[in-house]
Amino acid sequence: MPLTPETKLRIYRHMYAAERWEAMLLRLIEEGVVSGIYHAGRGHEGSEVGAVTALRKDDYLFYDHRGCGHLIAKGADMVALYGDFLGNELGSTRGLGAGIVHVCDPEHGIMGQSGTLGRGQLLATGAALSAKLRGTDQVSMHFFGDGSSNLGTFHESANVAGAWKLPVIFVVQNNGWAVSVPVEYSTAGGGFARRADAYAMPGVVVDGTDAFAVHEAAVAAVERARRGEGPTLIEAKLARMRGHFEGDPDNYRAKQAQGDNDPLVKTRRRLLEEGVVDETYLGKLELAVREQVQAAVDTARQGKMPERKRIFEGLYV
Amino acid sequence: MSEPNASATRTLTIGAAIREALAEEMRRDERVFIMGEDVAQFGGVFGATKGLFEEFGPKRIFDTPISEMFIVGGGVGAALTGMRPVVELQFADFLFNAADEIVSKMGKWRYMHGGRLTVPMVVRMPAGAMGGVGPEHSQCPEAMLLQAPGVYIVIPSTPRDAKGLLKSSIRDDNPVCFFEHKGMYQVSGDVPSGEFTIPLGVADVKRAGSDVSVICWGRMVHVVLKAAAEAAKQGIDTEVVDLRCLRPLDKDAILATVRKTGRLVICHEAHRTGGAGAEIAALVAEEALDALAAPIRRVCGPDAPIPQSQHLERLWLPGTKDVLTALQEIVK
């Protein structure tokens, strides 16, 4: 089913929000109030937003460390997000922050992130098992990179998901680089989507810079999962437009012409070319997003840093 | 939580007590399910889940592939989303196969995410040296988890404790590693007939005494009780404190027995170096050194792997004689 103009606009709005949100975060990093461990998501907005917008509020998201597009699209509050990065009490974890944050918002199905790579695959599969056992039609979506696809956790998760037909969607964001190691060097088999076949699930390759294509693939995967037909692996090919983390010299790869890989530029152009909206409309939408981002950061910066007692809170029930 | 009414009891093995606890909690709460290797129709390689498949069917108890990372990590995902998994690692040694899932996912997910999620799950872990299963399938790795804040550590020594503690572990909203000694599934004892639970983090004085305290847990409780009976014939009155849990740790019970007798022997099957005994000794040194009339003694598994040979396995295990010697020496 072709995407409605409303869906296309919703996707673009979240992508633009993710990009503007991140641009502001980078300023906070430069200012020295946020840790440079942040792993920028520039270039990944299309796959993260395109896929997550196929989910319902009660579906589960186990996100990855790359940017915040998936979180923003799932409904994370921007003030809380900045609060998490600032490490103050307005964050979703009330000050545990920062750098690679563990944002959490159970009301929006934002179930957290594993700092150790690959492990989210296991938890997302477990959440899908839970949905199946409880007899709901919820699905579980997990993002990870080409690097994390090479952990043994992937095999254990994909095998169980395929064997038990669990409603989980694995989104491999293949940007070609596991920190400094290129995928051609590290990975056998000629692509991640091909692996899906071994686990009895569809493996779909999409242009990860084409948010609408990602969305269509994700909608098909979600519908399949809700029908009880099991998991899908979506390999979104895209380019990481910044270093692995802020401060990465990024001197191990050739500088790329970024315009062609920029999902934001591409999506905006398509909205205009397809006549979904005009320049004036987009200008207004973008202004509203920028104002939202500015208001969020202004509010978040008012948050108090936690006291030492925060260290001991929330460990046990 | 309620301590059992002592009146009506019957005799059960630890294996049967564990099965009863699982069955009762599964009847009580439909969110409780069991998964692990060979746990369903086969009933578990040590028979701990026998008969549950027949009562509860394949949606409540099912086998997994040989995938320990998934058994624990998948359990965490299910626990976060409304279920109460009881997963089985076929051998406690597989803690190392699923170490990140236990230490950093099960133990820390709630904390890392601001306390906004809960991980109500139990990992059952058959532990200990028995039957010559060798260096990689015989360990008591509970002390590894002392460095895993967020994870409760429960180690029963009797059928009554096994049942009451397992029921509490399943009902607790915090994640629990529940160690069952492989050499004890056939050990019998009295178990209350009615409904009961035993609170986590409360030690049990298995034998009261006034001359020397032995702090122990798991199978060593029985070894120590035998040694205490021998020591009594020689006029040594031994108090035996079964910790039952290493986290939550019953610090008050540890300090109380040390202050009572002034002499402390710590006994566990796990390797001596870096075992939980070291932590208890440190705690006593910090908070009750003034109460000690003699240096603390440890009777533990030696710092060598547990050999496959059953002959050497028997020689490896700390025994009644070792405990008795420590008791005789510490009261001198």
Residue A289 identity (one-letter amino acid)? V
Q: Say which of B113, B137, B181, B222 is annotated catalytic.
A: B137
What structural domains and CATH numbers belong to chain B?
9-192 (3.40.50.970), 204-330 (3.40.50.920)
A67-105 burial, b at 16+ Cβ within 10 Å, e below that, comes to bbbbbbbbbbbbbbbbbbbbbbebbbbbbbbbbbbbbbb
| B271 among known catalytic residues | no
Within B98-195, residue ranges assigned H as helices are 99-100, 109-112, 159-171
What does the mean pLDDT of chain A come to?
Answer: 94
- What are the Cα distances from residue B128, in Å, to B19, B38, B48, B66, B297? 20, 20, 16, 21, 22
Report the alpha-carbon distance of residue A75 to residue A18 in Å, rounded.
Answer: 12
SS3 state of residue A95: coil
B209 by Cβ neighbours in 10 Å (0-12 / 13-18 / 19+) ranks as buried
Percent of chain A scored above 90 by pLDDT?
82
Least confident of A100-109, B109-118, B182-191, B298-307: A100-109
Residue B1 reports pLDDT greater than 50: no
- A102-116 residue pLDDT tens: 999 999 999 999 999
Q: pLDDT confidence of B319, banded at 50, 70, 90?
A: very high
Segment A290-308 mean pLDDT: 97
Q: What is the ipTM of this complex?
A: 0.95
Q: Which of A111, A156, A160 to mutate to test the interface with B (most CBs of B within 10 A)?
A: A156
Which of A197, A103, A248, A176 is CA-nearest to residue B117?
A103
Paired sense of beta strands B188-192 and B9-13, if any: antiparallel
pLDDT at position B6: 56
Residue B114 reports pLDDT greater than 80: yes
Residue A254 reports pLDDT greater than 80: no
DSSP of A235-265: EEE----S-SSTT----SS-----GGG-HHH
pLDDT at position B2: 53
Count interface pairs A-B at CB distance under 8 A. Answer: 138
Residue A242 identity (one-letter amino acid)? R
- What are the Cα distances from residue A278, in Å, to A212, A283, A289, B59, B214? 18, 9, 17, 54, 81
Q: pLDDT confidence of A240, banded at 50, 70, 90?
A: confident
CB contact (8 A) between residue A129 and residue B78: yes
- What are the Cα distances from residue B276, in Å, to A50, B95, B138, B238? 50, 16, 17, 21
- B59-81 residue pLDDT tens: 999 999 999 999 999 999 999 99
Between B59, B111, B116, which is nearest A133 by CB? B59
A residues 286-315 lying closer than 8 A (beta carbon) to B: 313-315
Q: pLDDT confidence of A258, banded at 50, 70, 90?
A: low
Segment A76-92 mean pLDDT: 96
Residue B56 reports pLDDT greater than 70: yes
Segment A232-244 mean pLDDT: 90
A38 min Cα distance to partner chain B (Å): 17
CB contact (8 A) between residue B104 and residue A157: no
Least confident of A170-184, B222-236, B255-269: A170-184
What structural domains and CATH numbers belong to chain A?
5-305 (3.40.50.970)
Percent of chain A scored above 70 by pLDDT?
98
Q: Phi, psi at residue A259, to the nearest 5°?
A: -55, -40
Within chain B, residue ranges assigned H as helices are 14-28, 52-56, 68-80, 99-100, 109-112, 159-171, 220-233, 251-261, 276-288, 310-316, 320-330
CB contact (8 A) between residue B77 and residue A134: no
- A148-193 residue pLDDT tens: 999 999 999 999 999 999 999 999 999 888 888 899 999 998 889 9
The answer to whether the peptide bond before residue B248 is cis (omega within 30 degrees of 0) is: yes
- List B180's β-bridge partners, or say none: B126
What number of helices (H) and strands (E) belong to chain B?
11, 14
**At which residue do the structure tokens 């290797």 appear?**
B37
pLDDT at position A245: 82
- What are the Cα distances from residue A239, in Å, to A52, A183, A215, B40? 19, 12, 18, 46
The alpha carbon of B62 is separated from its chain's Cα centroid by a whole number of angstroms, namely: 24
What radius of gyration, in Å, describes the C-alpha atoms of chain A? 19
DSSP of B218-235: TTHHHHHHHHHHHHHHTT
Segment B169-183 mean pLDDT: 98
